[in-house]
Amino acid sequence: MLPTEEAHDLLALTQELCDRELTGKAAAYEARAEFPREVIRTLGRSGLLGLPYPEEVGGAGQPYEVYLQVLETLAGSWLAMAEAVSVHTLACYPVFAHGSERQRKSLPDMLGGELLGAYCLSEPQGGSDAAALTTKAVRDGDEWVVTGTKAWITHGRDADFYNIFCRTGEPGPRGISCLIADAGTPGLEPQKAENVMGLRSSAPAQIVFDNCRLPSDRLVGAEGAGFTIAMEALDAGRLGIAACAVGLAQAAVDYAVAYAKEREQFGRPIAEFQGLGFMLADMATQVSAARALLLSAARLKDAGRPFSTEAAKAKLFATDVAMRVTTDAVQVLGGAGYVSDHPVERWFREAKVLQIVEGTNQIQRMVISRALVKG
């Protein structure tokens, strides 16, 4: 499954890090809804926050195929941390691909994990119809003045830099630009953390922009190119969410199998009952299929070929699988699956968000069906 010896070592290292630093902490941080900034720092120091970016700019130069398997490993240990790596990787994309010489000077700190990123696209009045966004940036001399509200922003209260997709021109996608702002800029006001169902250690927050002034050189890429930049970043980001889904689902299968081998009813381990064994078989098969679809999309990206539709398929399929498999894992544990003594209850709640973020699964179906019809 892995292309190089180096990739093997990287995955072994990630697993070690998960066992040492992540798995044992997840349940308590999730219960307290506390963001573990020091765990993110550890991930950064271990080189996991810039994996798919070139070494020349401070990344690790890994193919997507490898990066996604690292994410899968992290997700099997603590989904919120895998999602944090995926969102941060996404947030580094605009400056990496479209940033000015000066903006790109920050890349080593971004990719080394010194600076944590947020990606601000969604708004209270619309997430799916992103091209209708209303947060506005108006030129005033040498500055942009940003007003509006962004919603559901992962790392909203903890990020060091924010990509802001905002309207600088006409209605529709061509009137959108991308600006980058530092945390603490006056007028950039993170709100309280949302009271979310899962991923509680990394709860999103609204960001209010109240006449937030940014120097004109904070424009990333050309004026009016923001929507294209946002969609390019999301294409790759969707692969990250699919990898998170595969990791979570695999953890649920492993846990359910181990439980079913131990738990006895009618004098036998419940795994020996065909009704349950077939359920486990279906769970494992779905996860393998999701992983295969994800890796085939990743290999297209690594080969420099169009991968956007395949990424949408992988995100759709893998996240639906994660929801089904975590639901079945709760069933395998019976009553024990419904209480927080076992992690499957939390994984079931966490799976749900993967069907919503970075384009809901209805939007993925729209992307796929449009590509089919266009031919």
Ligand X SMILES: Cc1cc2nc3c(=O)[nH]c(=O)nc-3n(C[C@H](O)[C@H](O)[C@H](O)COP(=O)(O)OP(=O)(O)OC[C@H]3O[C@@H](n4cnc5c(N)ncnc54)[C@H](O)[C@@H]3O)c2cc1C
**Planar angle of CA 192, 197, 201, nearest 5 degrees:** 60
Q: Does 116 bind ligand X (CB under 6 A)?
A: no
β pairing state of 117-120 and 161-167: parallel
Answer yes or no: are the C-beta atoms of 174 and 191 closer than 8 Å. Answer: no
Contacts for 268-273 with beta carbons within 8 Å, 24 or more apart?
270/332
Q: Does 353 bind ligand X (CB under 6 A)?
A: yes
CB-nearer residue toward ligand X: 95 or 153? 153
Min separation Cβ 159 and ligand X, Å: 9
CB-nearer residue toward ligand X: 336 or 366? 366
Task: Count Cα atoms within 13 angstroms, Cβ side, for 127.
Answer: 17
The SS3 call for residue 220 is strand
Q: Which of 22, 82, 121, 333 binds ligand X (CB under 6 A)?
A: 121
Q: Does 127 bind ligand X (CB under 6 A)?
A: yes
Min separation Cβ 156 and ligand X, Å: 7
> Which residues lie closer than 8 Å to 56 by C-beta, 6 or more apart?
none
| Alpha-carbon gap, residue 113 to 358, rounded angstroms | 22
Answer yes or no: are the C-beta atoms of 48 and 85 closer than 8 Å. Answer: yes
Q: Does 153 bind ligand X (CB under 6 A)?
A: yes
Min separation Cβ 144 and ligand X, Å: 19
| Alpha-carbon gap, residue 190 to 182, rounded angstroms | 12
Q: Does 78 bind ligand X (CB under 6 A)?
A: no
Q: Does 40 bind ligand X (CB under 6 A)?
A: no
CB-nearer residue toward ligand X: 26 or 363? 363
Residue with token string 């980001």: 237
| Alpha-carbon gap, residue 76 to 72, rounded angstroms | 6
| Alpha-carbon gap, residue 17 to 9, rounded angstroms | 12
Q: Does 162 bind ligand X (CB under 6 A)?
A: no
Q: Does 227 bind ligand X (CB under 6 A)?
A: no
Q: Is 358 a catalytic residue?
A: yes
User: Which of these segments, 116-124, 175-183, 184-192, 269-277, binds ligand X (CB under 6 A)?
Assistant: 116-124
Q: Which of 69, 73, 154, 206 binds ligand X (CB under 6 A)?
A: 154
Applying CB under 6 A, what is the total number of residues that bind ligand X? 23
Task: Count Cα atoms within 13 angstroms, Cβ side, for 221.
Answer: 21
Q: Does 327 bind ligand X (CB under 6 A)?
A: no
Residue with token string 């130069």: 61
CB-nearer residue toward ligand X: 80 or 344? 80
Min separation Cβ 330 and ligand X, Å: 21
Min separation Cβ 84 and ligand X, Å: 10
Q: Would you tell me which residues interact with ligand X (CB under 6 A)?
A: 87, 119-122, 126-128, 152-154, 196, 199, 204, 353, 356-360, 362-363, 366
Which residues are catalytic, by number?
358
